[in-house]
Structure 1
Amino acid sequence: MINKLKSLSVGLFNAGSLGTGHDELIATVLRYDVDILAINETWLREGEDEKAPVVPGYKLRHTPRPRGPRLRDRGGGCGFYVKTSIKTPV
């Protein structure tokens, strides 16, 4: 079965870190009711999914920034909050 959408709403949010500012992000997603919210500057590293806010009705898909040669490297990374009703690859 193919899920055909008549329209798809997409938003963009510069998180500056998904480890902080959870209330603002959740309020933004719920206020605008987008199907997919693109996030830049997630600042999440591999295995830090639990630091990101849980948004009811959405799943997070993200790609962390690769670690550089300097331990102080931070920032970067991108992700998407996608409505659970939209099928995405694992």
Structure 2
Amino acid sequence: MRTSQELKDDLINRMKNAMKNRPIEEPVDRRGEIIPGKRYRDERGRMVTVKRASQLRVEYCREGYAGVSETGRREFEIKFTEVMA
């Protein structure tokens, strides 16, 4: 039977090997992410500001209008283009 010290050393060696063989992580591209506060243009060129975004829905406010509009995320990604500052 192995001692607790041997078990500990074996576990440490396993962890070191796992860290060596870990695939290289690539940086995450967040340009396409819909974040509250970002500004977009619709197909007619009108400006909108994102108020809330979830996996399924996006709430936005059109410039010059008091109300808030809501649409599906997929439809939003098709109809709106992000405005670069």
**What TM-score range do you get, normalising by the shorter chain?**
under 0.3
TM-score for the superposition, normalised by structure 2: 0.20
Of the two structures, which has the highest relative contact order with CA contacts closer than 8 Å and spacing of 6 or more?
A: 1
Which has a greater percent of helix?
2
Structure with max Cα Rg: 2
